Amino acid sequence: MKTNKLISSLVVATLLISGVYAAASKSVDENQLGMRSTDLYSEVNAKPDGTKYGMDAPGTSKKIKRAYPDAPPMIPHDISDFGEITKDNNACLGCHMPDIAVGVQATPIPPSHFTSFRPNVALDKNGRFVEVDHDKIVKQDLKGALWQGRFNCTQCHAPQHQGKLRVENKFKKDCLDPVGRKYENKSYLMDHLEIGVKAGNGL
Ligand code: HEC
Ligand code: HEC
């Protein structure tokens, strides 16, 4: 009985060792190296998978949760037919301006976009710009007019690629505790804009 056991464990050990050896000595073709899996000496077939943006029309897409509190939300719907955004021609405003948005169930552009945070400046005697309101948060309410530093929506809001990723993003939002979860679907930037600043300045 004992001898039988010894023999069978020896057989298993030999199989294991030869298996490991076989795996180690198996050569890998250079075309299989790296993530592109193609001829290393030519770029002809080294094509990425391509970007696949969601094609759902506005009103039929599913909103994407914010990556962190007050992150600019990703654009969940197709924007390919809206043309180029210019200062005077912006299709996004047609649905996202607060007075229209409610009716079409689009998220209204938030108050932060109708505010100028740019500090007031003046020219000093050397012709250089100097900040006038030092140590103050400037929040100039533009009374419903979009601050023109925000006219180009896609500078900050981007559509989301839907396809397979070669390298997955493993980012996990730790900051969203059970209370913070309310920030997943809405921004509250104007409510806590001055939190750290007030404490820091001892105001
Ligand atoms: C025809 C109306 C329409 C137009 C034009 C439009 N949107 Fe939207 N947008 C919507 C609707 C409705 C939603 C809500 C999701 C849905 O129902 O598809 C939305 C959702 C969004 C969201 C996500 C908001 C959130 O709370 O997560 C962003 C960001 C956005 N749109 C940006 C844009 C930008 C940038 C443009 C211009 C390039 C644009 N939209 C043009 C109707 C529109
Ligand atoms: C300079 C960057 C920037 C630009 C340009 C910009 N946004 Fe935003 N947007 C943000 C950020 C950051 C937030 C989240 C914090 C906040 O509310 O300001 C946001 C939030 C939003 C939200 C979500 C509001 C909510 O209540 O959750 C909508 C809708 C939106 N933006 C639409 C637009 C549209 C439409 C334009 C173009 C007219 C635009 N944004 C231009 C940065 C930008």
* Amino acid 100: pLDDT: 97
**Does any ligand 1 atom lie closer than 6 A to the CB of residue 109?**
no
pLDDT tens for 36-62 read: 778 888 888 777 778 889 899 999 999
Q: Read off the tokens for 146.
A: 């979009």
Backbone CA torsion sign across 20, 24, 27, 29: positive
Q: Whose CA is nearest to atom 30 of ligand 1?
A: 75
How large is the average pLDDT for residues 112-116? 96
Average pLDDT score, the chain: 84
How large is the average pLDDT for residues 22-36? 74
* Closest ligand (CA of 193): 2
Residue appearing with tokens 């969203």? 176
pLDDT tens for 172-185 read: 877 777 777 888 89
* Amino acid 58: pLDDT: 97
d(CA 182, CA 175): 12
- In the chain, the percentage of residues whose pLDDT exceeds 70 is 83
**Residue 3 pLDDT > 80:** no
**Residue 147 pLDDT > 90:** yes
* Amino acid 203: pLDDT: 45
* Closest ligand (CA of 71): 2
Q: Whose CA is nearest to atom 43 of ligand 2?
A: 156
Residue appearing with tokens 């007019």? 145
How remote is the CA of residue 64 from the centroid of ligand 1, in Å? 11
Amino acid at 40: L
